[in-house]
Structure 1
């Protein structure tokens, strides 16, 4: 159980930024707890591996959290930039053009197209 927890913990820590790692943390915790109970009852070994696996679960959660924070910041930056470009289209600034297609308005700015009606 301790070896399994450690292996799953390593995989979850390494794949934490891909969100897959956070799904592996639950079985890692289960196997680590089983290993710790077995060590306490005197029927198993690997206390250090089980504790290391739990530490790796923490690393996986931190990596996943950091991934989502960075992704949210990038999305907010993209949305802010899109709003600025759309504002320039609405103000009819040079180089920014409004295009209508299929009943929707789009802003064409330097080859990039932004939907204005969102």
Structure 2
């Protein structure tokens, strides 16, 4: 049985799920040896726009500036939006490192925001 099935069987409360998510992100960061930043929309607010757009660039840039280290993983989870914005986020890179051939930033976009 997979991890996702195990999570479903546990029937976490919101607080327990948030704590588990943070623990797993910390674990991933330690395993990969790089900071991880998650930028996620609240998909439960169906009346609000949840797609990524150009207004998201500044908050993401601010958060990237606060990440330690020379490498970063960025996980974007939205209800769709502008692929061009995601490209611009990739171009922002990590302000604490020089651009290099190994492209030490990894961006994962979930849903249609690619």
Relative to the length of structure 2, the TM-score reads 0.27
Structure with the larger RCO, 1 or 2 (CA within 8 Å, 6+ apart) = 2
Higher helix share: 1
- Rg larger in 1 or in 2? 1
Relative to the length of structure 1, the TM-score reads 0.27
